[in-house]
Structure 1
Amino acid sequence: MLSHRRIAILTDGYSTPFVAKTAISLLRYRTADVAGLIDAAAAGSTSQELLDVGGQIPVVKALSDVPDADALYIGIAPPGGKLPEEWRPIILQALRRGIDVVSGLHDFLTEDAEYIDAAAGSKSRLIDVRRNRLKSTADCHRFRPGCTRIHTVGQDCSLGKMVTSLEVHRGLVDRKENSKFLATGQTGIMISGEGVPIDCVVADFISGAAEQLARQNEQHDFLLIEGQGSISHPAFSAVTLGLLHGSAPDGLIFCYEAGRTHVKGLDDIPIAPMKDQMEAYLVAANLRHPCKFVGIAINSRHLNDEQAIAEIERAEATFGLPACDVYRTGADKLVEACLGLRAEVLGR
C-alpha cells in the first residue's frame, strides 16, 4: 500500500504531456500529497504552468528543495519503460536521505546493486509497482450478486480508460455509493496505492490476477476496473482479454479518442472499426459472464467545445448509449448508467 503524504515527483528533462503521463495523473488525483515537481529547467514555475494540472504545486530545481519529502515518485512513462541514467544521482540522494523511491517502469530499482546498497544503509524502500509474484490461474469465481463490476475498454492504448474509471468511481462515491477503483497499471497503482500491474503478469496468470483483484474487493457494491490495451491491438490484446475474462464484468464502458485513426506504436496500422471492436468485446465478455455496454467515454482533447458536443451527440445516435467526455462534460451520464445496470443485475 502506497501511503506517502509528501511526494516529490521526478520528471527532470522529460516534462512533456506524452512522457510525463504518470506525473500528470498524480498531480490530478493525488494533488494534496504532492509537495513538488522536480525539473531544473522549469524551476520557479508551477505544475499548472508546466503541465496544465496541479494548481500551485511548485516546480523545483532539486530534491533538496523539497526538504520534507517522504517519497520520490518516478513521474514518466517513456516508450520502452527505461529509467533515465542521468537521474541516478537524484535517486541515490533520495535513498541516502531515507526517502522511499517509487517507480512504475520496466527497469526495476530492486535489480540495481547501487540502489539496493543505498536503501539498505538508510532503511528507505525501493518500490517497483510493476514487480509481482502473481502465479494463480483463474477458477471462474462466482462473484457476489451485489458486486456490480464495470470495466473500461477501448479502441486503442492511452486514451482515457483509467481516467474514465476514476471519474465514474468518484461520481458514485459522491452519491454515497459503496464503490472501489481497481488499478491494473502502474499509474493507477500509484494513484490508488494498490492494484495489479497486469502487463507484468506471466501470460497464464493474467486472468487469475484480475479475478483475484476483484475477489479481494467484492464486498463493494461497485468495482470500477481499469482497462488496458485494446482487443484489436496487435501487441497488447492478450492483456485486454485476460482482464476481460478475469474480472467478469457486468458492464463495459467503451473509450475512444475522437480523430484517432491508427494504432498507437504501430502508426501504419489502422484502428479496427469501433462497431467491430464493440461486438468483439461483447462476444468475448459473454463467454465468461453476462455483460453489456452501458456507455461511451470520449477523449475529445483535439476538438473545440462545439466540436466535442457534436461528437458526443453523434456517438449517442450511433451507438444508442449515453456518451460524455468525463473531463469536459463530467461523468454523470455514466454514473447513472452504472446505477441502472446494478438495479438490472439485482433484478435478474
Structure 2
Amino acid sequence: MPQSNQLKNYRHIVLLTDGYSTPFLAKTAISLLRYRRGDVAAVLDVEHAGRDASEVLGTGDGVPVVDHIPPEADALFIGIAPPGGKLPGAWRVHIERAIERGIDVVSGLHDFVGENSNFVALAAASGSRLIDVRRNTEKVAATAAPFREGCLRIHTVGHDCTVGKMVATLEVERELKSRGRDAQFLATGQTGIMISGDGVPIDCVVADFVNGSAEALVRRNEDHEILLIEGQGCIAHPSFSAVTLGLLHGSAPHGLIYCYEATRQEVKGLENVPLLPTKRLMEAYEMAASLRHPCQFIGISMNGRKLTDEEATVELERISAETGLPACDVYRDGAGPLADAVEQLQREQIS
C-alpha cells in the first residue's frame, strides 16, 4: 500500500474512540495500545477524559484519555471497528479540528474519510493527509509461481470472525523474534495494517484479485525466514468465507494455527446459525489449503476471555486432547507452545 511507510512513521498518535470506548467497538484502539504503545500519545474520549487508558480500555497503562487533541499529535487514528464500518456523525468535529491543524487522519473504516468533500477541502488548505487503509488498487491475479525455498509460511485461521487471529499472529511473531528468529507479521486487515504499517485490506479487494493480492504480499516479504500471515473470516462463515479461501490459496501456507473463542456457539452476526464442530472445520481447512500447497495444522490458539483461569486450564487440556496439538491462550500464557510448533515444522521442512 502506498501509505505504508507513512503509517509506521507516526510517533504521537491520538486514538479517537469518543463515545465508543468498549472492548467490542474499540478493538482497533485496544490493539494499537497493545502493539504500538510507544507511538500513542493519547486516547480521545470526552466522557472519560482525565482517566488512564488502562482504566477505560483494559490496556495502555500511562496513556491519558483526553477531551481534545494535544499539541504534539502528528496523527489522529480512528480507533473503532463498528459493524458496517460507518463513521459516527458526531466525530466530524474532531476530525475537522485535526485537519485544520494539519494533522493526518488515518481510518480503517469502510466509510472513507478521503471521500468526504468537506474533509478534502480542509486538507487541501492545511496539508493534512487523509489515509484510508482499506482503499487499495490491487488488480493482480494469482500465478501460483513458487515462493522462495526456505521461506516458511504460517497462517492463522478460525472457527468464526473476531476470535483473535490477528492477536495470535502478532504474539507468535513477538515470541519468535525474542528467540532471535527472522519472523515477519503480514497484515490482511485494517487494524493489522495500522499496527505494522503494511499489508493488504483483503476484505476490500475485488474478488478476482484476493488470491493474487495475498500472493503478492507474501512475495514482497519472502526474504524473511518465517512469515506469519494474519487470517480473516472463516471458511464456513455464510457471509465471509470467500476471503478466507482466497488467503489460503494466495499465501500457500505450510502450517496453520487454529483460533477459536471458548464458549462461543453461534456464528457471529447471524442468529441461530451454529458453529461447526472443530474437527470438521479443521479437516475442511486442511483439505482446502492442500489443494494449493501441502499443509497441516500445527497448533491451537484459544481465546479464553470469558473463562476463569481454572476454566481456561481445563479447556486447553480438552482441546489439546481432542486435536492432538499444542494449545495455549496467548493472552494469559504467551505464545511459547505455538512458536515451538513453528520451529518444529521448520525443522521438518528442512530435513
TM-score by length of structure 1 reads 0.98
Report the secondary structure of 2:333's partner residue.
Answer: coil
- Distance in 2 between the 1:267 and 1:157 partners? 14
1:266 matched to 2:270? yes
1:21 matched to 2:27? yes
Partner in structure 2 of residue 39 of structure 1: 45
In the alignment of these two chains, the number of paired residues is 345
- Check conservation: 1:141, 1:211, Cα contact below 8 A: no
| Letter paired with 2:295 | C
- Distance in 2 between the 1:136 and 1:142 partners? 16
Give identity over the alignment, percent: 62
Report the secondary structure of 2:208's partner residue.
Answer: helix
Partner in structure 1 of residue 59 of structure 2: 53
**For the aligned residues, what is the CA RMSD?**
0.6
| Letter paired with 2:292 | R
Q: 1:166 aligns with which of 150, 166, 170?
A: 170
Partner in structure 2 of residue 144 of structure 1: 148
Q: 1:89 aligns with which of 90, 93, 101?
A: 93
1:5 matched to 2:11? yes
1:95-106 alignment runs, 5 A limit = 95-106=99-110
Partner in structure 2 of residue 192 of structure 1: 196
How far apart are 1:263 and its partner, in Å? 0.3
1:334 matched to 2:334? no
- Distance in 2 between the 1:267 and 1:6 partners? 41
| Letter paired with 2:66 | V
Q: 1:229 aligns with which of 233, 249, 264?
A: 233
| Letter paired with 1:7 | I
How far apart are 1:345 and its partner, in Å? 1.1
Partner in structure 1 of residue 314 of structure 2: 310
Report the secondary structure of 2:302's partner residue.
Answer: strand
- Which stretch shows the higher mean deviation, 106-115 or 197-206? 106-115
| Letter paired with 1:53 | T
Report the secondary structure of 2:284's partner residue.
Answer: helix
1:243 matched to 2:251? no
Report the secondary structure of 1:9's partner residue.
Answer: strand
Moved over 6 A (4+): none
- Distance in 1 between the 2:242 and 2:271 partners? 20
- Distance in 2 between the 1:311 and 1:92 partners? 48
How far apart are 1:110 and its partner, in Å? 1.1
TM-score by length of structure 2 reads 0.98
- Check conservation: 1:143, 1:218, Cα contact below 8 A: yes
1:104-143 alignment runs, 5 A limit = 104-143=108-147
How far apart are 1:28 and its partner, in Å? 0.6
- Distance in 2 between the 1:159 and 1:299 partners? 7
- Distance in 2 between the 1:41 and 1:169 partners? 36
- Distance in 2 between the 1:185 and 1:192 partners? 11
| Letter paired with 1:271 | L
How far apart are 1:267 and its partner, in Å? 2.2
How far apart are 1:329 and its partner, in Å? 1.2
- Check conservation: 1:145, 1:346, Cα contact below 8 A: no
How far apart are 1:155 and its partner, in Å? 0.1
- Distance in 2 between the 1:6 and 1:38 partners? 13
- Distance in 1 between the 2:147 and 2:274 partners? 37
How far apart are 1:199 and its partner, in Å? 0.1
> Runs of 5+ in structure 2 lacking a partner?
none
Partner in structure 1 of residue 282 of structure 2: 278
- Distance in 2 between the 1:267 and 1:258 partners? 18
Note the alpha carbon deviations across 1:264-308, whole angstroms, 9 max, x for none. Answer: 000210011111110000000000001100000000011100110
How far apart are 1:141 and its partner, in Å? 2.1
How far apart are 1:124 and its partner, in Å? 1.2
- Check conservation: 1:169, 1:180, Cα contact below 8 A: yes
Report the secondary structure of 2:221's partner residue.
Answer: coil
| Letter paired with 1:230 | C
Partner in structure 2 of residue 77 of structure 1: 81
Q: 2:219 aligns with which of 195, 215, 223?
A: 215
